[in-house]
Amino acid sequence: MSGPGARDGAARAAFLDMLAAERGAARLTLEAYRRDLEDYAAYLKAAGTDCVQVATPGIRAYLLHLADLGLKPSSTARKLSSLRQFHQFLRAEGLRDDDPALVIEGPRRAAAAPKNLSPDEVERLLGVAAEGLDDPQRSRHERMRACRMALLLELVYSTGLRVSELMALPKAALRASAGLVAVTGKGGRERLVPVSDRARALAGTYLEALASAAPGLAGARWLFPSDSESGHMTRQAFARDLKVVASAAGLDARKISPHVLRHAFASHLLQNGADLRVVQELLGHADITTTQIYTHVLDERTKAMVRDLHPLGQTGTRRR
């Protein structure tokens, strides 16, 4: 290596060779690393240093440079990941005796508010799914599929179950007289979720349709049986059918998913005054910080409460 530039280039090439040989990195992955490191090296060269000499403040200055260019925090975090691995490699290979990237924290990314549907949009979905459930022109199989979709939509919106939990519900789940369903969620944690009378009524209609259309499946233990490997309907099948209903309801099918309906369940509860910890329990979140992605709903509700209920928030009210 005759100088800093050649030293930098050789170090980057050796790192990429290691990724390809030892980690089996794909071509596109290697190209992404190559671009990240070339950009980093160009910045260091302009700053009068290189990857072997740069100290921690120099790396922080590079990250600030990326922010000044308007790079999104997610993109900056990806580049920082590349730099961390690169500097770990330099130290492991004896090209440096320290790791200047070790103490650097990545850019903080605000939790994005989840996609949501308005109550009116959900009602449109439910209405379309419930249309013609008793239509005599439909075949037995078509009626069963229609009843199943109506029940699925009612359940996911009225309970907030994860789609994996919904698909794996046993047939006996909705027969409890107490109107509660015991759900096994992530980590094997169990919780009780209330089930609406409407959902239980739809379940009876659906199970009758299932017995008529697919008697071979009607004896299965699952509420939504199928001939899939798991023995029950897959989340992909539900998501696909849901998009068909969304299009029929005049909604953008690209923005509709079972997970979006779970978000609607939580958001609409909070908008109507539910406590955040109650919503946490219903969603099956182990940590309330996960539920706090919905605090934007609480913020808006708090602002509206102060505006509407506090004397100084009311139009025309004067301080005396």
Which CATH number covers residue 12?
1.10.150
For the question of residue 259 being annotated catalytic, the response is yes
So what's the pLDDT on residue 41?
Answer: 94
List 162, 200, 263, 268, catalytic entry = 162
Decide: pTM greater than 0.85: no
For the question of residue 262 being annotated catalytic, the response is yes
**pLDDT tens track for 164-189:** 999 999 988 876 566 888 888 877 88
Answer yes or no: is 108 within a domain: no
**pLDDT tens track for 295-313:** 666 566 566 655 665 676 6
So what's the pLDDT on residue 229?
Answer: 87
List 294, 303, 307, 319, catalytic entry = 294
Domain encompassing residue 209 = 119-258
So what's the pLDDT on residue 309?
Answer: 59
**Domain shared by 230 and 151, yes or no:** yes
For the question of residue 294 being annotated catalytic, the response is yes
Task: Extract the tokens encoding 79.
Answer: 């580049």
List 35, 109, 186, 255, catalytic entry = 186
So what's the pLDDT on residue 190?
Answer: 85
So what's the pLDDT on residue 272?
Answer: 85
* Alpha-carbon gap, residue 154 to 152, rounded angstroms: 5
For the question of residue 285 being annotated catalytic, the response is yes
List 87, 124, 262, 263, catalytic entry = 262
For the question of residue 310 being annotated catalytic, the response is no
For the question of residue 33 being annotated catalytic, the response is no
Q: In the chain, which stretches have pLDDT less than 70?
A: 1-5, 108-115, 175-178, 295-310, 312-320
So what's the pLDDT on residue 182?
Answer: 83
CATH number at residue 134: 1.10.443.10
Please provide the DSSP assignment of 74-115 as one string: HHHHHHHHHHHHHHHHHHHTTS-SS-TTTTPPPPP-PPPPPP
The number of distinct structural domains making up the chain is 2
